[in-house]
């Protein structure tokens, strides 16, 4: 018959516990002891519920799929964000990556091994030497946020608050009066506002006293362009090119509600209003009152004369040859 020794505690010669069992909990060693498993030995039948921080709560769990959970037992978004899950569903949670004052802190996104570009396909990097943040895709830096909060897209040293570089234009500084948005290219470049076919696209200017001080608006339903200042519409260009100043429905190429004033320009002898007709045309100025023609000033090409018409058929002709 085999011998069976039943004990709750095994102690060394100094009376220190080596193995202790209490309520089905087995404790190996005591505080401060070192437990060594000899090389080549195998520990079997051992199941870990996790790693605790101070023997009162599980801090780190590694599940059967080798997923790591810190401060939680619930995995993250399954299949995409569950390899490492940090934090519980209550309170604030976070992670700190600490680096030297002149070094980098970096998260890499990799789909390869070794030193190929795939090992750093994506990147989020903080540069502590100049306090800038860099974002990379396809193994190349794409966006930089400077220490001043300026954002550069395809630009590592943004000149404006938002600097978008298509290609290098050679510009090295901006006027401070217009440095909010800078779009540059070595070739022709531009900015596009896309709207629905029956909607409008707008560029609005505002201040702290009025949310619409000025505006440029394009209406896709009628293909008209409107310009605002002082909170109201001042100029409109219709789809056929007719221009109205203080007039939203011009019926001629230029229709002005108000006064047109011409001043003498420096270097010219006089201020002028020029009417340029075709080679055989008869240009004229017409005067209306409440929509009714009241008079004309004509130039008649056939007789090379200037005529005054009072609107009632009465003419006064002047000819340089008479």
Residue with tokens 């001629």: 252
Per-residue pLDDT of the chain (322 residues; tens, 9 = 90+): 566 666 677 777 777 777 777 777 777 777 777 777 777 777 666 655 566 555 556 688 888 888 999 988 899 999 999 999 999 888 899 999 999 999 999 999 999 999 999 999 999 999 999 999 999 999 999 999 999 999 999 999 999 999 999 999 999 999 999 999 999 999 999 999 999 999 999 999 999 999 999 999 999 999 999 999 999 999 999 999 999 999 999 999 999 999 888 887 777 667 778 888 888 888 888 888 888 888 989 888 888 888 898 878 788 877 766 5
Asked whether 249 and 235 are in contact (CB, 8 A), the reply is: no
Asked whether 186 and 168 are in contact (CB, 8 A), the reply is: yes
Asked whether 246 and 236 are in contact (CB, 8 A), the reply is: no
- What pLDDT is attached to residue 57? 61
Asked whether 317 and 305 are in contact (CB, 8 A), the reply is: yes
Check: pTM over 0.85? Answer yes or no. no
In the structure encoding, which two tokens stand for residue 122, read together?
């994506």
Whole-number Å distance between alpha carbons of 48 and 66: 12
DSSP secondary structure string for all residues of 97-124:
----TTSEEEEEE-SS-TTSGGGGSEEE
DSSP secondary structure string for all residues of 256-290:
ESS-----PPTTSSS--------TT---EEEEEET
Q: What does the chain come to in residues?
A: 322
Q: Do β-strands 243-245 and 254-256 pair in parallel, antiparallel, or remain unpaired?
A: parallel
């Amino acid at each position: 018959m085999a011998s069976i020794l039943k004990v709750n505690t095994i102690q060394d010669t100094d009376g220190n516990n080596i193995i202790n069992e209490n309520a089905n909990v087995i404790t190996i060693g005591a505080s401060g002891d070192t437990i060594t498993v000899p090389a080549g030995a195998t520990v079997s039948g051992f199941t870990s519920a996790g790693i605790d921080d101070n023997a009162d709560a599980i801090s780190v769990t590694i599940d059967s799929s080798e997923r790591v959970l810190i401060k939680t037992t619930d995995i993250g978004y399954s299949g995409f964000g569950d390899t490492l899950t940090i934090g519980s569903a209550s309170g604030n949670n976070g992670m700190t990556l600490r680096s030297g004052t002149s070094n980098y802190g970096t998260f890499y996104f990799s789909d390869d091994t070794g030193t190929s570009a795939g090992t750093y396909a994506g990147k989020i990097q903080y540069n502590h030497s100049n306090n800038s943040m860099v974002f990379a895709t396809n193994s190349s830096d794409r966006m930089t946020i400077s220490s001043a909060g300026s954002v550069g897209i395809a630009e590592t040293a943004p000149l404006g608050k938002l600097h978008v570089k298509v290609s290098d234009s050679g510009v090295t500084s901006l006027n401070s009066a217009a440095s909010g948005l800078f779009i540059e290219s070595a070739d022709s470049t531009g900015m596009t506002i896309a709207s629905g076919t029956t909607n409008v696209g707008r560029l609005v200017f505002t201040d702290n006293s009025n949310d619409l001080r000025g505006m440029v608006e394009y209406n896709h339903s009628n293909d008209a362009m409107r310009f605002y200042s002082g909170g109201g519409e001042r100029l409109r260009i219709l789809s056929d090119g007719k221009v109205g100043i203080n007039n939203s429905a011009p019926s001629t190429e230029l229709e002005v509600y108000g006064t047109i004033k011409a001043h003498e320009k420096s270097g010219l002898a006089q201020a002028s209003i020029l009417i340029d007709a075709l080679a055989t045309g008869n240009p004229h100025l017409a005067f209306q009152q409440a929509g009714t023609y009241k008079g004309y000033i004509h130039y008649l090409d056939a007789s090379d004369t200037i005529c005054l018409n009072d609107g009632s058929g009465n003419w006064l002709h002047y000819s340089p040859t008479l």
